[in-house]
Structure 1
Amino acid sequence: MREWSWNMIKAVIFDLDDTLTPEMQYVESGYRHVASVLEELILSVRGEAVLTKEEIFTRLMLLFRENNKRVFNRLFESYHLKFELMDVQALVEEYRNHEPDIFYYKEVKEVLLQLRQKKMKLGIITDGPAIAQKKKLEALEAFQDFDKIIVTDELGRDYWKPNGKSFQLMARDLGVDYREMVYVGDNPEKDFYIQKIYPIHTVRVEREEGVYKNSLYLEGVREMYKISSLDKLPGLLSHME
């Protein structure tokens, strides 16, 4: 591992999903919304509540846990309902545009406060459809907690992580060098590869419930440090002083 100290670090940048807020919390929120939409749609077409929103929600969660791909397609198929691509896309839009009922992990606010007391600049770099990610950030009131937030989808799909463009912009806008940055994420497929592009220090928060906890590391590039929850982060940084 590279040697570095607390005194070198001027900015701590976070991933969003499964780092600051549980991804499954958002999934459940979105599926509850979609289930309500479908219940009303079926009622208006059939004239009776053939399926309740709770039944639909339970089925959606079951399908997601089996495989998180093509969930809405498989939902229609599981109920033997005829559907077209536009029907699936309509549900995707409902999911992405809903007002999510989500919260930070319980330790986040205290950790951010401790980092502020150390005069750290704070940022977020997050992938995902821009409308959905911005809805999450608004629900969390994250814009008041961080100095800079970059939703990579607003740069273009090609600039999602592991592309380094968002890190370039973050370093520039916060006025720090790459060596003065720490990136905290959870996804081995894309969050830690940045250290191969720029000399940014990386920390993985490995949560039991993490959606991507079993994902493979991109080109075998692993995080520099690993913690089980964010409340371990200030201690980790202080230990390196």
Structure 2
Amino acid sequence: MLAFPPARNSMDHDMIAVRPAPLVKTTVSASAAKYLRSEIIGGGIRAGDSLPEARIGELLGVSRVPVREALVILEREGLVTFDRRGTARVRTFTLEDVRELGVMRLVLEPMAARLAANRGDATALGEIARNLTNLKRARTLSDITGLDFEYHRLIMAAAGNSRLSASWENLASQLRVVMRLFHQAWERKTLAVRINTVKAHAALFDAISRGDGAGAESIAREQAEGWLVELGESGAFDSPVEARE
């Protein structure tokens, strides 16, 4: 006796048709998170500022639910904190926070530099070279900060290790905030910041492009250690920033 599969009725088809609907909600949350992330990283919303869901929802034209979900996303990224009452605020980075980020850079970036040098991917090296060219032409601290961050991301990608890159990306939003605050501390020395950044990046790129894995790893480690020292000397993280309600 032949067994036939049960016939699919119109209800099954209708159910399949509506399944993508929840994605709209997710997209709204992701869009809200993208907006808030950009504002926090760029300094439009400052450390310690409160993030009222109703006000943000009104600004973005959405309900409080996707805003709440967006804030949870940013909490996971380390940009937002919630107090006991559930009030969200932009995270204030302390010197200890920065030191912890520096330790993670020491763990991840030297290994990425070695792998990138050993791998020698021509396309990846070309992207890093273009980044250096753009950095040499940069005139504002905002441009320098953006290119500085992009440079490190490109090296992580050039390593060709998805898990290593994923570990670094988990810290990316926090690193961008810290880099901005660090560069802003030297705002009157924009030219010096650019010259020093170009010099450091060029030295590391030279080792990577020559395929010197050990040398690239050593330079990346030295630079990450130096970054920690400079962050402490900058005074950018000595005291909390006054919050705005």
- For Structure 1 versus Structure 2, the TM-score category normalised by the shorter chain is under 0.3
More strand per residue: 1 or 2? 1
Q: Which has more radius of gyration?
A: 2
Which structure dedicates a bigger proportion of its chain to helix?
A: 2
TM-score (norm 1): 0.21
Q: What TM-score, normalized to structure 2?
A: 0.21
